[in-house]
């Protein structure tokens, strides 16, 4: 049983297996709990696989209403180890709506049902054959952590594969998490 507020053991084992060092910040996404946990370490770990991380914050989220899955065009949320490959939306006002990662309007100006809004953290899979490469490639599936106009849907599966967050939670993450921050999406509750 993991201690409360600790990084999941499955994340640590996957990092070790793929020789991927922990980053100072780590996000974990629990699909059954529909929550994102933000773990922070006071500094980079002395040993790349020995965590000094503590739970910093948790957020309500939404993952796919179609469940979990790795395959392109499945509209499912992919599992496994990822990292933030791109941060999109810096400097744009809250309520900015994005299409193909470009600003196209505002939620308060005729786009109240926008599906991608505020900011985008574009994810890249780190596990070859599972969420990286071929028909399972998270990056080429355009899987993001992003905001949306319909925030009352948070806390239940509602997306088409991405992870949805409220603007008030997403914008600080976007501003504070560096590129390549690890993101662990897993099928277990916290």
**Domains delineated in the chain:** 9-186 (2.40.440.10)
Q: Would you state the pLDDT for residue 1?
A: 36
- Least Cα distance to 167 among 93, 68, 103 occurs for 93
The model's pLDDT over 121-161, given as tens digits with 9 standing for 90+, comes to 999 999 999 999 999 999 999 999 999 888 889 999 999 99
- Least Cα distance to 126 among 9, 10, 14, 12 occurs for 14
Element (H, E) at 174: helix 167-176
CB 43 within 8 A of CB 75: no
Q: Would you state the pLDDT for residue 52?
A: 83
- Measured in degrees and rounded to the nearest 5, phi and psi for residue 152 equal -60, -15
Which parts of 89-142 are beta strand (E)?
96-99, 102-106, 117-125
- Which residue has better confidence, 144 or 93? 144
Q: Can you tell me the distance from the alpha carbon of 78 to that of 63, in angstroms, rounded to the nearest whole number?
A: 10
Q: Can you tell me the distance from the alpha carbon of 6 to that of 78, in angstroms, rounded to the nearest whole number?
A: 22
Query: What is the pTM assigned to this prediction?
Result: 0.91
The model's pLDDT over 7-50, given as tens digits with 9 standing for 90+, comes to 999 999 999 999 999 999 999 999 999 999 999 998 765 566 66
Q: Would you state the pLDDT for residue 100?
A: 87
């Amino acid at each position: 049983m993991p201690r409360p507020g600790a990084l999941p053991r499955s994340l640590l084992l996957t990092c070790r297996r793929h020789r991927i060092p922990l980053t100072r910040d780590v996000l974990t996404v629990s699909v059954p709990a529909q929550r994102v946990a933000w773990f922070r370490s006071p500094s980079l770990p002395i040993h790349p696989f020995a965590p000094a991380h503590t739970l910093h914050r948790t957020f309500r989220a939404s993952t796919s209403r179609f469940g979990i899955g790795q395959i392109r065009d499945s509209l499912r949320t992919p599992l496994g180890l990822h990292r933030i490959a791109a941060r999109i939306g810096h400097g744009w006002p809250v309520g900015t709506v994005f299409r193909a990662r470009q600003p196209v309007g505002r939620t308060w100006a005729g786009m109240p049902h926008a599906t991608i809004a505020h900011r985008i953290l574009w994810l890249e899979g780190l596990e070859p054959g599972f969420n990286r490469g071929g028909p399972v490639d998270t990056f080429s599936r355009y899987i993001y952590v992003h905001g949306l106009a319909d925030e009352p849907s948070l806390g239940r599966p509602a997306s088409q594969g991405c992870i949805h967050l409220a603007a008030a939670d997403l914008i600080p993450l976007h501003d504070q998490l560096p590129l390549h921050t690890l993101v662990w999406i897993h099928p277990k509750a916290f």
